[in-house]
Amino acid sequence: MVKGAERVAWRTGLAGKEAVMIAARRCRCGDTRRELPSAKAVVIGDLATMAGMRQVAEAANAVGRYDAVIHNAGVGYREPRLETGDGLEHVFAVNVLAPYLLTALIEPPARLVYLSSGMHRGGTASLADPQWERRPWNGAQAYSDSKLFDVALAFAVARRWPAVRSNALEPGWVPTRMGGPAAPDDLSLAPVTQAWLAVGDEPAATVTGGYFYHQRPREVAPAVRDAAFQDELLGYCAALTGTTLPEFAGSAGLAGPAGLAGPAGLAGPAGAAAGWSMRSRSWCRPATPSLG
């Protein structure tokens, strides 16, 4: 299943594979069908609201279990601060909460791929004001933060679901509507690593807990590998949505990044939101956090 793909390029990356596409609006459903006529199904949904996210998950599950889910829908850094129907800041809602809730609700696939950005290295690993209610709005910082959260989510899933290969990547600064016409990177290469992580058979593509750029490992902001911060993010998203990331033990022994042994049997604690208290959407870590 693919969300938000550059559809022409995906025809090559997913050649010979059955794909389910998500179109954010009904008017784009026909475009998706024309650009990727081999798609098994097109799911239409609003990823800016929790109700819409749940509808997408329900429709996706109705199609069947997936070999891979690629979370690459998102909004960019040029937008003003907007609130969704749930009263959440929309960059956080679409870029972070949607992949979290879809991950929690869609039956776990064999592989999960999360789209991040090189801008995540400028993100702040803090949940003190994730909805930008007390700070002056800064779209670039909000976007950078959201992409840092996405990598932390990918790594948290890799740690908690050892049977699932969960990785993140940056596609480069490409000339999409989000990136702008002056972006220097090659648009045709943007989806290649996503498809490679979703369907590739070579050892480099069958790891978990990795971060990639053009099919090569790349360094990440150190905070995203902090298990306590990962659990903090999961707890915050769980409390917002009322849905915790379920336990999914599966089989262990997957390769980690750079060929290291993957996580073995690490399951998250039941009730990921335990220990959190809400103070006008401000969140603080418990004095003794539960790390699972």
Q: How far is CA 74 from CA 85, 209, 222, in A?
A: 17, 21, 23
pLDDT at 79: 83
The answer as to whether 126 is a domain residue is: yes
pLDDT at 143: 95
The answer as to whether 22 is a domain residue is: yes
Order of strands, sheet of 211-213, starting from the edge strand that comes earlier in the sequence: 41-44, 20-23, 2-3, 68-71, 111-115, 165-169, 211-213, 216-217
pLDDT at 179: 56
Catalytic residue chosen out of the listed positions 66, 100, 143, 211: 143
Q: How far apart (Å, rounded) are the C-alpha atoms in residues 224 and 159?
A: 12
The answer as to whether 267 is a domain residue is: no
The answer as to whether 201 is a domain residue is: yes
| Structure token digits, residue 1 | 């299943």
pLDDT at 253: 44
Q: What is the pLDDT along the chain (292 residues), one digit of tens a residue?
A: 555 444 434 544 565 567 777 666 544 555 656 666 667 788 888 999 999 999 999 999 999 999 999 998 889 888 899 999 999 999 999 999 999 999 999 999 999 999 999 999 999 999 999 999 999 999 999 999 999 999 999 999 999 999 999 999 998 654 455 555 665 565 556 678 999 999 999 999 999 999 999 999 999 999 999 999 999 999 999 999 999 999 976 654 455 544 333 333 333 333 333 333 333 333 333 332 222 2
Q: In degrees, to the nearest 5, what angle opens at C-alpha 44 toward C-alphas 42 and 46?
A: 150
42 secondary structure, DSSP code: E
Q: How far apart (Å, rounded) are the C-alpha atoms in residues 59 and 47?
A: 13
Q: How far apart (Å, rounded) are the C-alpha atoms in residues 53 and 113?
A: 18
211 a catalytic residue: no
pLDDT at 228: 98
pLDDT at 146: 98
The answer as to whether 290 is a domain residue is: no
Please tell me whether the overall predicted TM-score, pTM, comes out greater than 0.75 for this model.
Answer: yes
The answer as to whether 264 is a domain residue is: no
The number of distinct structural domains making up the chain is 1
Catalytic residue chosen out of the listed positions 66, 100, 114, 147: 147
Q: How far apart (Å, rounded) are the C-alpha atoms in residues 193 and 175?
A: 17
Q: Which domain holds residue 135?
A: 2-259
147 a catalytic residue: yes
Q: How far apart (Å, rounded) are the C-alpha atoms in residues 247 and 258?
A: 26
Longest dimension (CA), the chain: 54
The answer as to whether 41 is a domain residue is: yes
Which CATH number do you get for residue 138?
Answer: 3.40.50.720
The answer as to whether 270 is a domain residue is: no
Q: Say how many C-beta atoms besides its own lie within 10 A of residue 270's C-beta.
A: 10
